[in-house]
Structure 1
Amino acid sequence: MRHEHIETNSGLMIVLILLVISIGGLVEIVPLFYINETVEKVDGVRPYTPLEMRGRDIYVREGCYLCHSQQIRPFRDEWLRYGHYSLAAESQYDHPFQWGSKRTGPDLARVGGKYSNQWHVQHLKAPRSVVPQSIMPNYPWLLETELDYSDLASRMGALRATGVPYSLTQQEYDANVSRFGKVVADQLDISQAQDSLMKQAHEKDFDGIPGQITEMEALVAYLQVLGTMVDFTKYDEGYFTTFR
């Protein structure tokens, strides 16, 4: 009877709908006021270099997040397979974050340094040549397509507008030197972006093709940095020893 009374009384129905929406809104909004307590303060996390950033763009473009997550949950079976659970601070410069919603393939949050550059190149070019049971598509064009970084400054500028500390002024550059060190600060300087990208590509040669910068180069650079910024031996060591 009460349910029928609510449905037949439009005024009461509107009031109750607004009440439910208000409660739901507060549940979503109030935690944001405590965001500084949610994002851990950890050493090592930095914005992506220009090359890594372009690699991430390609990762998103190819829909890698549809089959691979970048979120290790704090459960025993998770850390036994993938490593330390994901920290909120690791995604603070990701717009949007790449946590994913399913795992057709393994989680990639800690894939950086796990395999060689050559392995990644071969795996992306022909997955079943290194993992016979893989159902991942082939991505041979990544090795054949030169990386477009003509709009690099615009891409970094857009991320800067969201709060990523890429520098455009001397004051911002000095702040990055103080926060990350000069080497990293130089990589985050938008005015030096193209030079920084080319330097990292030529020094590391992620795609195995000297003198050429391909989309494969950028994507492998991005994959190789995932999970490598933080020294996890300094954080929550007790969490792991509890289960050993």
Structure 2
Amino acid sequence: MKHESVETNAGLLIILTLAVISIGGLVEIVPLFYINDTIEEVEGVRPYTPLEQRGRDIYVREGCYTCHSQMVRPFRDEMLRYGHYSLAAESQYDHPFQWGSKRTGPDLARVGGKYSNEWQVQHLIDPQSLVPESIMPGYPWLATTPLDYSDIEGRMIALKRVGVPYSINRDEFEANVEHFGGETALMLDINRAEDNLIAQAQAGNYDGDPSFISEMDAIVAYLQVLGTMVDFNEYSEGYFAEFR
């Protein structure tokens, strides 16, 4: 069959197009019926603590996602620059996820622990003081704006309704103890949300000013946890391939 005869016959072209689309769809859909889960089974991934969650809210509010993605793709050049490619498990508690497709700035999926708290604070206040070629605007008000956490319990309850395993009763707390461990389960308890937020902010002193809890404390706490939950040294490359 000549290609010209396909292009000049509308009915045949439609039929062949539908056939190709159907085959492509089946190739992608059928394998899903033969795997138990599309999320990798890894240790360490947990929901964000109240302070980290407020930091994430500020990150979204300030539009950081418009210039920074949080998804290391499985390409050699990206893995050499950013580290192990991103796993679905790492974003399972994100609503919405921050994968992104545009990188005016570098990817932040593995930024946690890469720089000190002091570096992060200075970079947010005046990016050009650390990276002269940066076009990122400064966010100095984060360091002087008190963090509003009066509605943190409500925020956690809303996330709980979409599947994030925060606990609000004894049974849910015990389930988190079994799944995440006792220390983490305490941080995920909605009834202790404000106390946990204050305790983490004071212990971490992320903004370098212990006199009050600022929005800078929250966003730095969030940035410092990104990419730190999974110890990739415990897994072989072949292990993650089983979930694709």
Percent identity (aligned): 71
* Cα distance between partner residues in 2 of 1:26 and 1:61: 39
Cα deviations by residue, 1:37-75 (Å, 9 ceiling, x for unpaired): 321000000000000000000111111111111111111
What is the match of residue 179 of structure 1? 179
What is the match of residue 59 of structure 2? 59
Cα deviations by residue, 1:200-230 (Å, 9 ceiling, x for unpaired): 0000100111031111100000000001111
TM-score w.r.t. length of structure 2: 0.85
Contact 1:143–1:207 (8 Å) recurs in 2: yes
Aligned residues: CA RMSD: 2.7
Cα deviations by residue, 1:92-130 (Å, 9 ceiling, x for unpaired): 101111001111111111100010001000000000001
* Cα distance between partner residues in 2 of 1:156 and 1:23: 43
* Cα distance between partner residues in 2 of 1:169 and 1:33: 35
* Cα distance between partner residues in 2 of 1:30 and 1:55: 39
1:220-231 superposed matches below 5 A: 220-231=220-231
| Shift in alpha-carbon separation, 1:81–1:21, aligned structure 2, 3 A | closer
Divergent runs of 4+, >3 A: 18-36
1:88-237 superposed matches below 5 A: 88-236=88-236
What letter matches 2:218 in structure 1?
A
Q: Give the gaps of 5 or more residues in structure 2.
A: 1-7, 240-244
What letter matches 1:111 in structure 2?
V
- Aligned residue pairs total 232
What SS class does the counterpart of residue 109 from structure 1 fall into? coil
What is the match of residue 41 of structure 1? 41
What is the match of residue 9 of structure 1? none
TM-score w.r.t. length of structure 1: 0.85
